[in-house]
Chains A and B, each alone.
Chain A
């Protein structure tokens, strides 16, 4: 029998030769229960529990991702997310608010300067979005462990933010043709700075192979919109022309028939469906291409995502989220009917009724928004599950030789991402 290493109790052979790696997904249990508990606690705490609820969801999703059968762990806390958000609110939103109020006081709300500030702010905010994405990734990796070894993202978020910003302008100037180049460049900036313990990930993708699929998307989008416009014109052209004549001669406007409206709706839905399909197809290609070119030690990832799979997940997730809306709408309607009955004779006063009715759309919006978020943990788990099940890792890594990196604990890094709503999970 071989002697054991003094610290680890692991045979030294494992230190030199690599162990094979295998990635898998073990469906997390109890996500519906977590969804409901988090929802109730969020209501009870006026929304503040959001950060802790999100943390519990992440812990469960991370834990469902298995490398060699053992789970990833998420070690972030709700307090970190909460204080991160408070800090960002004070550092970013407070100055913006003060600036807006200051300009309003000094030059007046109708002045050109006050009117143009939201537009001017758009530029630094785009820059901040890039920074937010990078910092959020850094926070999550720093809070992700496997066998106790931390992940990390080195590099500067400012550099990423700047690249995010100027390549976006290039993408716009090239009518979108720089998009594959841009996403490859941004992905490379992230992946090459990723670490597991003291070992880096490597990224070898070029944007060339993405251009074929992207051309399909680009021309497909043009075609989709073109066909939709042509269809609308073929169905409604005469009606529009008659209305133009009617408005000039003072004649009666021509109302489109129900059949026409139905056909127009159908062609627009068909066009949007077509665009969604090619967009999903492209996204699957990008995911697989980036995965195939990501390496760790002697292992390489492999992506097998498909357009059909992505669409299936998106559609079923949407249906699941709508179940949340329905679940919340039922008690809300009962509550509203009860409240309406308690109005009693007041209900005969048309002014009171008008006031009550005016609140209905707002209440409906609230119910929809809250209901839609109710089952989002389930949807998140399904999305992550799909991606993990379509991501393989082939090869080996000398696990016992991968050491914990010194330092590297990001603190409160995610506030900005939360603020700009770029949170992927």
Chain B
């Protein structure tokens, strides 16, 4: 039996060795030598497992370990089960990488690096002009976008009929045609719905909805033209399509990242993303609208004065109690995303130098448009 000498502070003890070929095991004499851990089961020359290639089933604690199960990278299956306190105490000094913190850091490092990398890429994309969602939205054929838009409009206005009094429809048509002069030739389908709410929105495929409430509260045809131009701006920039692509992509990604366990986190993330996105989109749509109004010779003041009117309505509604307020997140987003921005947007609209402009609609057309739903008693019944 050729045992290494126990001199020079080389801890020696016993352990159980299994070769990993069968479930049998044998008593072994173990010495922590300078070269590695020497295992002698009695029959042959002792095995030497260098410390650097050792692994443990469970990382070693800095303080006290009851036992340790060692494996060796280059002898898969073989195990050494150590309970000897002398050996345990000497092991961690010679193989620091077996400690809990070392192992955890080894595991976490690539994960943290991956997350940092992914976030840097995402950050770079959001800072650059590359807009993946907008790019993908541009790939969707027009027919599909229109079909999708019809579905969106149908579901959002399900309880409100479309207003189609012919004189009003003709006036609306003239306004749309005039505005389109100030832009490229994107196709638009604009409708008014019989709805009290002061609202306007753009759906995919150039479909735009204005409400009767908006026409009633607007201070004149220039304001309606400005709102319409703003919504057309959303349509031209494919904002509704991008929004759908973005939320689908984001929810899929977050679901993937969170291992299906990120329900709440994913909804918060999506809301945050949509919230920051919508501010940019509003700015962009305003810019397009101002161009459009100028191109078609309509005063840009309408945009600013409509914003001011909305602010007034909001403060009145606040005094007047709780009538028809959106609740929960809708409310929160309204507060956080649009409220602080309104001043900035009004200022941007006011900054446009004056140019030659005529009213957006002739007085008769304006009256006809206001009566497009035919609801009030003085309007022409169809």
Contact = CB atoms under 8 A, between A and B. Distances in A.
A10 B26 contact: yes
Contacts of A312: none
B381 interface: no
Interface in A322-351: 350-351
B35 interface: no
A351 B318 contact: yes
B58 A59 contact: yes
B144 A400 contact: no
B268 A362 contact: yes
A105 B144 contact: yes
A221 B103 CA distance: 49
Contacts of A352: 335, 339
A8 to B, nearest CB: 5
B22 A63 contact: no
Nearest to A109: B151
B7 interface: no
Interface stretch (B84-92, B166-174, B255-263, B279-287): B255-263
Contacts of A50: 258-259, 261
Contacts of A104: 151
Chain A, interface residues (CB within 8 Å), range = 35 or more
A89 B144 contact: no
Interface residues of B, number: 69
Given A108-B154, A350-B318, A362 B264 contact: yes
Given A49-B108, A70-B81, A147 B18 contact: yes
A45 B262 CA distance: 13
Interface in A41-88: 41, 44-52, 55-56, 59-60, 62-63, 70-71, 73-74, 78, 82, 85-86
Interface string B95-106: 000001001100
A7 B61 contact: no
Given A9-B41, A350-B318, A399-B22, A47 B57 contact: no
Given A63-B57, A351-B335, A366-B268, A148 B108 contact: no
B259 to A, nearest CB: 5
17 contacts: A7-B21, A9-B44, A15-B24, A48-B111, A49-B108, A55-B107, A62-B57, A63-B69, A70-B16, A78-B107, A101-B248, A145-B79, A352-B335, A354-B331, A358-B328, A399-B24, A401-B24
Interface of B: 16-26, 41-44, 57-59, 61, 66-67, 69, 71, 76-79, 81, 100, 103-104, 107-108, 111-112, 114-115, 144, 147-148, 150-151, 154-155, 248, 252, 255-262, 264-265, 267-268, 314, 318, 327-329, 331-332, 334-336, 339
